A and B are shown apart, each in its own frame.
Chain A
Amino acid sequence: MIKLHNVSKSFSRFQAIKSILLTINKGEIHGIIGASGAGKSTLLRLMNLLEVPDEGEVEVNGQKLTNLSSKELRQARKSIGMIFQHFNLVANKTVYENVAVSLELANFPKKERRSRVLECLQFVGLESFVEKYPAQLSGGQKQRVAIARALANNPEVLLCDEPTSSLDPNTTAEILGVLDNINKSFGVTIVIVSHEMEVIKSICNRVTVMAAGEIYDTALIEPKGIQNLDNSPRYFIEQLTKDGDLDHA
């Protein structure tokens, strides 16, 4: 579903991503974990070309994004949803308008817009908040609106950059539940960037561990825990073994 082929990215002279090779399968929930500054967000932002790689190819949904014209890229982005740590809602738009705008951008048939917006808001449990503004919502509710907005155009992929990092533990669990539900109900491939092992462990099928712009390892997370994690940084190994669920190969 998502293929990064020898992708590199530098900011002025600092190399944030060092020739990364990564494949994310259709239908999986893929975690990307690593310390702050490891390059997780940059890696995620390469997947919809918010960051343009210096070299390498980015393929999503069978399309080589790196080869597209800007118009084709905009089209491709409509089937790649994205949510953020700070939600990034338009504060001067109502909940309804925030979701509707993504349909407007995609030229979704006018007549069906209202019912589609309400359907998405219902899915995230906010159907009674249509006329509210983001300032009137809690953090968890704002993230739900952002999820509804990302979901509106039936994306194939949902990119999540620290989606729960500004939420309390209960709300975190709720939002992760919503994401899991999206994956199970619609088969949306989900990529979640997080620095919290708990988040990754609770919903991901696979995890990629990053440090200093490189991938240390990619491991499967089976129901009984994380498998085959060979050479990850000590910090994460410790995190994992602490909870006794690292079945180290």
Chain B
Amino acid sequence: MPDILVQYEAEIWASIGKTFVMVGVSILAAILLGLPVGTLLFLCRKGQKLENRIVFSILNLLVNIIRSFPFLLLVVFLIPFTRLIIGTAIGTAAATVPLSIIAIAHYSRLVEQSLLDVPKGVMEAAISMGASVKEIIFKFLYVEARSGLVLGLTTSIISFISYSTIMGVVGGGGIGDFAIRYGYQQFKTELMIYMIIIMVILVQLIQFTGTTVSRMIDKR
């Protein structure tokens, strides 16, 4: 192993750990909240089972606003909210708040897109069989859209990694922050390049896994 990596080994591992925490919480937020929000966006559309213009418009606007914020400004803008929830606006835990917000908005849009790909006829068959809304979602929609949902999550996770790299501004740490502080600000270019390599490998692994899984579960 190159000397410089040995020298900074502990810090590097700590940074990787923080990136995993930030991205991990984002993934949880995406699944636990982004998936339902995206499903609601889909179901509230015109002609769908829960057609509701008001709910759709509000969710749609909210998702658009969050996604159109330059992420750095969103982080700053959310500081009071973060302080309210976590008690502080600084540190890795605090960094997970804006990351989760963008994660929900990001993934919900991709969920909506995947669900739009489910043939309308499948929904009609479900309704004609007497399925409830819950049954339509879990026994039909998610089953039929599952490969798109997995691919969307893969795309989202890769974006979350990218978003997480700027969390140094609120002391969130992580690989990106480490690369900037040591590699860029202290002119250790070699170290920065190694960090970039780690990120590239990580992204490749995630993309490969996502693509493979989505292909395996796609029987269409």
Chain A residues within CB distance 8 Å of chain B: 48, 50, 73-78, 80-82, 84, 86-93, 101-102, 104-106, 133-135, 146, 149, 159
**Is there contact, CB below 8 Å, between B128 and A133?**
no
**Is there contact, CB below 8 Å, between B139 and A86?**
no
Give CA–CA (A75, B129) in the complex, Å: 9
> What is the number of contacts between chain A and chain B, taking CB atoms within 8 Å?
71
Contacts of A135 in B (CB 8 A): 219-220
**Is there contact, CB below 8 Å, between A82 and B125?**
yes
**Is there contact, CB below 8 Å, between B139 and A104?**
yes
Q: A90-B143, A92-B143, A92-B218 are in contact. Are A78 and B129 (CB under 8 A)?
A: yes
Contacts of B132 in A (CB 8 A): 74
Tell me how far the C-beta of A113 lies from the nearest C-beta in chain B, rounded to whole angstroms. Answer: 14
Give CA–CA (A73, B135) in the complex, Å: 15
**Is there contact, CB below 8 Å, between B139 and A88?**
no
Tell me how far the C-beta of B123 lies from the nearest C-beta in chain A, rounded to whole angstroms. Answer: 9
**Is there contact, CB below 8 Å, between A90 and B122?**
yes
**Identity of the chain A residue whose Cβ is nearest the Cβ of B140 in the assembled complex:** A90
**B59 an interface residue at 8 Å Cβ cutoff?**
no
| Residue of A50, A91, A135 most packed against chain B (CB within 10 A) | A91
**Is there contact, CB below 8 Å, between A101 and B220?**
no
Pick 19 A–B contacts, CB within 8 A, sort by A.
Answer: A74-B131, A77-B127, A77-B130, A82-B128, A82-B129, A84-B124, A84-B125, A86-B121, A87-B121, A88-B122, A89-B125, A90-B122, A90-B140, A90-B143, A91-B220, A92-B143, A104-B139, A105-B139, A134-B219
**Identity of the chain A residue whose Cβ is nearest the Cβ of B146 in the assembled complex:** A92
**Identity of the chain A residue whose Cβ is nearest the Cβ of B119 in the assembled complex:** A88
Give CA–CA (A110, B144) in the complex, Å: 23
**B217 an interface residue at 8 Å Cβ cutoff?**
yes
Give CA–CA (A245, B128) in the complex, Å: 36
**Identity of the chain A residue whose Cβ is nearest the Cβ of B127 in the assembled complex:** A50
**Is there contact, CB below 8 Å, between B121 and A91?**
no
Q: A92-B217, A135-B220 are in contact. Are A106 and B122 (CB under 8 A)?
A: no
**Contact code string B122-164 (vs A, CB < 8 Å = 1, else 0):** 1011011111100100011001101100000000000000000
Majority secondary structure, A binding face: mixed
Q: A101-B139, A133-B219 are in contact. Are A77 and B122 (CB under 8 A)?
A: no
In chain B, positions 40-83 with a C-beta closer than 8 Å to chain A are: none
Give CA–CA (A171, B220) in the complex, Å: 23
Contacts of A88 in B (CB 8 A): 119, 121-122, 124-125
Tell me how far the C-beta of B49 lies from the nearest C-beta in chain A, rounded to whole angstroms. Answer: 11
Contacts of B146 in A (CB 8 A): 92
**Is there contact, CB below 8 Å, between B128 and A48?**
yes
**Is there contact, CB below 8 Å, between B220 and A77?**
no
Contacts of A73 in B (CB 8 A): 130
Give CA–CA (A74, B130) in the complex, Å: 4
Tell me how far the C-beta of B57 lies from the nearest C-beta in chain A, rounded to whole angstroms. Answer: 20
**Identity of the chain A residue whose Cβ is nearest the Cβ of B218 in the assembled complex:** A92
In chain B, positions 197-220 with a C-beta closer than 8 Å to chain A are: 217-220
Tell me how far the C-beta of B69 lies from the nearest C-beta in chain A, rounded to whole angstroms. Answer: 36
Tell me how far the C-beta of B206 lies from the nearest C-beta in chain A, rounded to whole angstroms. Answer: 23
